[in-house]
Structure 1
Amino acid sequence: MPIPETTPTLERPILRESVYAQLRDWIVQGVLEPGEQLRDQELARRLGVSRTPVREALRRLEDERLVETAKNRWTRVKPVDLKEAEQIYPIRAVLDGLALRLAFPWLDKASLSTMRKANAALRSALKNADIPAAVEADTAFHDEYVRHCGNPELMEIIRGLRVKHHRLELTYFGSPQLGLVSVEEHTGIIEAVVAGDIRQAEQRLNRHFHNALTRLKRQPQDRSPPLRKVLPSGVFRP
C-alpha cells in the first residue's frame, strides 16, 4: 500500500509523555499536595512547555483518579482517600502473594541480599524521618520478588497499582514508629523464604498488607504529606 500523499502533522508524543510523567511523579511524591489546585498556565510555565500537553496530562491523570475537577471552577490533586486504601491494599495482598509464589524458586542469595539491604534502608530512612526515601526503600523490597515472578502481565498490574499505593504510603510512613513495624514484618517474610516455607512467606506477606492498612486507618487524616518541595522551572523544552 503506497504512503498517502497528504498526512496529518504528527504530534510530539515524547514531550506529551514526559509532561504526564512529571506531573504524575509530583502528585505521587507529594510535591503537589492532595487538594492543591492545578493551574495549567502555571504548570506550563514551570515545565517550559505550552498549555496543550499540560491539559492533556491533567485529563489523563483525571482518568487515573489522581486529579479531580469541578467544571469551570477548579482542577486539583485528588485528596488521599481511605476508601481507596481499603480497595488497593487487599488487591496488593493477593497479587503480591501470587508474585512471591511464582518468584520463590528464583529468589537466590543475591535477591535475598537485595531485600535485606532495602529493608535496612527502610529502617534508616524511618529513623531519619526521610519519608520519600522510606517509600523508595519499601518499593525496592517488594519489587525484588515482583520482578522475578516471570509473569509480565502480573508485573504490569502490580506496578500500575503501585502509583496510587505510593501516595498512600507517604501518609503511612508519616508515622515512623508505625512504619518500623513494617521493617519487622519484612524480616519475617525474608526468614520464611530462607527457610524454604513458601506457605508461611505468603501468609506473612498477606498479613503485612492487611496490617499496614489497619495502621494507616488509625492515623490522623487531616494532615498533608510530610514533604513539600518547590516546583522547578523549565524542566522540558519543546
Structure 2
Amino acid sequence: MSGQADPSPRPALTSLAPLSARTLVDQVVEAIVEATARGVFLPGDRIVEAEVARALKVSRIPVREALRLLESQSVVVSERYRGMRLMSVDIAGLEKILKVRLALEKLAGAEAMDRIAAGEADLAPLEEALARMHAAGDAADGYGVARLDTDFHRCLCQLSGNEVLVRSWEPLSRQLTIIFGLATFRKPLKEIVAEHDAVVDALKAGDRAGFDRLMEVHILEYTRAVDYEDLVAQLRRIEEGRRRTG
C-alpha cells in the first residue's frame, strides 16, 4: 500500500545473546545446596536473602529466584513473618522422602533391566558415574561424593527410559544431595561409594527380586543408620563453640 514504509526486516537469530550453560539463578541454587551439604548452612537455619547475596557477590534478585525454586523442591520452607528456612532432617520427613525414592528407583531398575536385556540400553553411563564417585572418594572429596551420588541415582532413573519417572525423581535430587552430604560427616567415603558397586552388580545380574532387596537396604537401612538430627545438633554445637572462641 502506497504511503507506508516497508517494515524493517526482523533481526537474524544470530543476533540473540548466547545462553550461558548455567544461569545465575542456577549457580545460586547450587551454591546454597553445596553449602548445606558441606555443613556451612545447617538444616533448620534461616536463610537471609541479603546475606547470601553479599556472600556470593550478586544482587538479591537471583537469590530471591533461587530461593523460590528451592522452596518448590522443599529444600527451603517459607515461614510467615520469619522468612526462609532450610529443610529439616527429622525422621518423619526423611521417611517420606525415602519411601518415594525407593518406589521410583525400584521401578527404574526394573525398566532399566528390561531395556538392557532388549539391547536398548547399557550400563556404561552408570559405570562412568560410579568411576567418578570412586575418584572423589579417593580424593577425600565429601561434597564431590555427595553430588556424584545424586548423579549416579539420576543416571539409574534415566536408564529406565521413562521420562515421567525421571521428572518425578528430579525434584528430590537437591534434597538428596544435602542428605548425602551430611552422611559424609558420619560414614567413610569409600564405604558410601562401595555401596554403589553392589547396585551396578545387581543390575548386571538382571535379578529383579535381588535388586529390590538391595535397594531396600541401600536406600532405607543405610540412610536410617545415620542419626541426622543428632548429627545436625553436633555440628551446631561445634559452630557455636567456634563463635564463642573466635
TM-score normalised by L of structure 2? 0.68
Instruction: List aligned pairs for 1:191-210, cutoff 5 A.
Output: 191-210=201-220
| Structure with bigger RCO (C-alpha 8 Å, 6+ apart) | 1
Whether 1:164 and 2:175 are equivalent positions in the alignment is yes
Displacement of 1:68 in angstroms is 3.7
Whether 1:95 and 2:104 are equivalent positions in the alignment is yes
State the percentage of identical aligned residues: 25
Distance in 1 between the 2:195 and 2:64 partners?
Answer: 42
The letter for the 1-side match of 2:123 is: L
The letter for the 2-side match of 1:115 is: L
Distance in 2 between the 1:47 and 1:41 partners?
Answer: 10
Task: Note if contact 2:149-2:180 (Cα within 8 Å) is conserved in structure 1.
Answer: no
Instruction: List aligned pairs for 1:1-238, cutoff 5 A.
Output: 18-30=23-35, 33-34=41-42, 35-45=44-54, 46-49=56-59, 51-107=60-116, 111-177=122-188, 179-217=189-227, 220-224=231-235
- Segment of structure 1 superposing worse, 62-71 or 200-209: 62-71
- Paired positions, count: 209
The letter for the 2-side match of 1:157 is: S
TM-score normalised by L of structure 1? 0.70
Displacement of 1:155 in angstroms is 0.4
Distance in 2 between the 1:104 and 1:217 partners?
Answer: 33
Displacement of 1:125 in angstroms is 2.8
Task: Note if contact 2:29-2:67 (Cα within 8 Å) is conserved in structure 1.
Answer: no
How big is each residue's C-alpha offset from its partner over 1:62-102, in whole Å with a ceiling of 9 and x where there is no partner?
A: 34432245544554434444432211112111100101111
Displacement of 1:26 in angstroms is 2.0
Distance in 2 between the 1:69 and 1:112 partners?
Answer: 40
Structure 2 SS opposite 1:129: coil
- Segment of structure 1 superposing worse, 148-157 or 212-221: 212-221
Distance in 2 between the 1:214 and 1:38 partners?
Answer: 27
Structure 2 SS opposite 1:175: coil
CA 1:224/1:106 → structure 2, altered by over 3 Å: closer, same or farther? farther
Partner residue, 2:8: none
Displacement of 1:167 in angstroms is 0.7
Output the aligned Cα RMSD. 3.3
Structure 1 SS opposite 2:123: helix
Distance in 1 between the 2:132 and 2:88 partners?
Answer: 28
Structure 2 SS opposite 1:216: coil
The letter for the 2-side match of 1:140 is: D
Task: Note if contact 2:47-2:84 (Cα within 8 Å) is conserved in structure 1.
Answer: yes
Larger Rg: 2
CA 1:62/1:188 → structure 2, altered by over 3 Å: closer, same or farther? closer
The letter for the 2-side match of 1:24 is: V
Displacement of 1:33 in angstroms is 0.9
Structure 2 SS opposite 1:187: helix
Distance in 2 between the 1:137 and 1:58 partners?
Answer: 23
Displacement of 1:166 in angstroms is 1.1
CA 1:211/1:48 → structure 2, altered by over 3 Å: closer, same or farther? same
